[in-house]
Amino acid sequence: MRACIRAAAPGAKESLKWGMPAFSYQRILVTFAAFKHHIGFYPTPSAVKAFAKDLSKFVTADASIQFPLEKPLPLSLIRKITRFRVRESIEEDKKWRT
């Protein structure tokens, strides 16, 4: 998961936020954490909404996605969501600079 996110967001700063690994540029892009039965992925509500169709087979909430431990991680989807967050972050920064 970590390598996948790092590849999708080159240059993002890696840190801990709320006790979870996090990747950030000017703002937090994504965080994730391991639990007993799943890996939680937290890419913000806008990303969950944008990928709702692709996420239909996973448990989701407003800003979170649960990937069950007994299945392989959907790395291509994680990559797409992370890239979406990178683009979204860049666009947000542009809004504040104009």
Range of the domain at 29: 2-90
In which element (H, E) is residue 37 found? none
- The whole-number pLDDT of residue 25 equals 84
Q: Would 98 be classed as within a structural domain?
A: no
**Each residue of 67-82: pLDDT tens digit?**
999 999 999 999 999 9
CA distance 76 to 15: 23
pLDDT over 90, % of the chain:
87
Number of domains, the chain: 1
pLDDT band at 98 (very low <50, low <70, confident <90, very high): very low
Q: CATH number of the domain that 62 lies in?
A: 3.90.1150.200
- Specify if 95 maps to a domain: no
* Digit-coded pLDDT (tens) for 33-49: 999 999 999 999 999 99
Residue 97 within a domain: no
Q: Could you tell me if residue 77 is inside a domain? A: yes
Q: Tell me: the pLDDT tens digits for 4-13?
A: 999 999 999 9
Q: How many CA atoms lie within 13 A of 80 on its CB side?
A: 11
pTM: 0.91
Q: How far apart are CA 21 and CA 55, in angstroms?
A: 22
